[in-house]
Structures are given as C-alpha cells and as structure tokens.
Copies of this chain bind each other. A is one copy, B any other.
Amino acid sequence: MKTEPPHPPKGRPRAFDTDVALGRALELFWRQGYEGTSLSDLTAAMGINRPSLYAAFGNKEQLFRLALNRYLRGPAACLGEALREPTARKVAERMLRGVVGQMSDPKLPKGCLVVQAALSSGTEADPIREALAAHRNEARNALRRRFEEAIAGGDLPKGTDATSLAGYLMAVIHGLAVQSASGMSPRELQAIAELAIQHWPA
C-alpha cells in the first residue's frame, strides 16, 4: 500500500496529486450524489481534464467507488470504531454522537454519502445502488453481531432481538442523515441523537 514508487516511472509525470483530486471528487459526490454530479463538475473541481480523469481513475463509476472507499475509511470510520466500545449502549452512544459530530462540521458536506447516493435512482446508477445496499447490509450485520455479544455478555436484556435493534439504530442514523441533508441545524440533530440515547434499552 505504498504510494511512493521506489524508482520514478518512465513516462511523463502526472501533473496533479491523485489523492487531493480524489478528495475533491468525494466532496462533490457527497454533496450532490452520484447522478447529480457530472463529469464536468468533477473535472472542474479536481482541476484536471477529462482524459486525465479516465486515465487515473477508470470512469465515473470506478471513481465513485474509490471515493466511497475513502469516505468509509475516513469520515465514516467512526462507525466501525464504535463497535469496539465495551457495552452496547456505549456503541450506540458513540455512533450517534459520532455522526452528529461529523454532520456538525461546517467544512464537510451535510448528510451521508451512502444515504445520499443510495436514493438517486436512474437506471444507470443501479450498480452503485447495489454496492451501497450491500455495504449497509454488511454494516448492519456487524452491528447485529456486536449486539449478540452484548446480549451474551449481559449488557443488553436477555430477550433483545439483536437484528431488529441493529436495524433500529441504523434507521435512526439514516434518519439523521436525511434531516441533516435537508438543512436541520446541528443542535437539533444533537437533541434528536441524545433523545435516542436516552431511550436506549438498558
């Protein structure tokens, strides 16, 4: 995973930094969704020409997948980290406060890339939608497994349905993303999150 090749490559060197260009692409996709972002938008924001984009990133869909990857390892990493909290309640608290915290950063786009791009649905974006649905499914499964542990460990009531509880927490998070994208203020988002935490079982 080194980005620094040991010997300089043979041909003409690239005149832009692929990392910062990918960051610009992520911000645009995040703000406008997959279909809402045109190649002209992308090349303008990334400061490169169209063929350079294709040479470096393949095509629009692959560029989106790369941006999604960076999003999941970057801004959305707090969700995965939250799984390592010691109790189910702390997992939920950290997730809810994490997403609210991120959505409160004025330098970042509002809402959530995964939700944002999932619902824009021309027939052309179908593979993207499937990929995002698969990711959400995976995230929910990880959360369910963590809650099963919690039930076994005793920090959730014995009769709890881990699957439903995971779905519920995901639903609240997605709901927060929708409202954030719709312009709800950070303090209101936080109040909602605190309310969800307050009603958490156990």
> Are B121 and A178 touching (Cβ within 8 A)?
no
Against B, the Cβ 8 Å flags (1 = close, 0 = not) of A115-139 are 1101111110100000011001000
Question: In the complex, A196 Cα to B136 Cα: how many Å?
Answer: 20
Among candidates B132, B167, B199, residue contacting A188 with C-beta atoms closer than 8 Å: B167
Tell whether A170 is near chain B: CB-to-CB under 8 Å.
yes
> Are B178 and A115 touching (Cβ within 8 A)?
yes
Among candidates B173, B178, B195, residue contacting A119 with C-beta atoms closer than 8 Å: B178
> Are B192 and A167 touching (Cβ within 8 A)?
yes
A126 to chain B, nearest CB (A): 11
Tell whether A181 is near chain B: CB-to-CB under 8 Å.
yes
Within 8 A of B (CB), among A152-200: 161, 163-165, 167-168, 170-179, 181-184, 188, 191-192, 194-196, 199-200
- As for how many copies of this chain the complex holds, the number is 2
> Are A174 and B179 touching (Cβ within 8 A)?
yes
Query: Which residues on B sit within 8 Å (CB–CB) of A178?
Result: 115, 118-119, 171, 174-175, 177-178
Q: Give the interface segment out of A6-14, A31-39, A60-68, A79-87.
A: A31-39
Known: A168-B196, A183-B133. A36 touches B163 (CB 8 A): no
> Are B195 and A164 touching (Cβ within 8 A)?
yes
Among candidates B125, B161, B181, residue contacting A118 with C-beta atoms closer than 8 Å: B181
Tell whether A58 is near chain B: CB-to-CB under 8 Å.
no
25 contacts between A and B (CB under 8 A): A35-B35, A36-B121, A36-B125, A38-B122, A118-B178, A118-B182, A119-B119, A119-B181, A133-B183, A136-B179, A163-B188, A163-B191, A164-B194, A164-B195, A165-B195, A167-B188, A168-B172, A170-B175, A171-B175, A171-B176, A171-B192, A174-B178, A175-B175, A178-B178, A199-B199
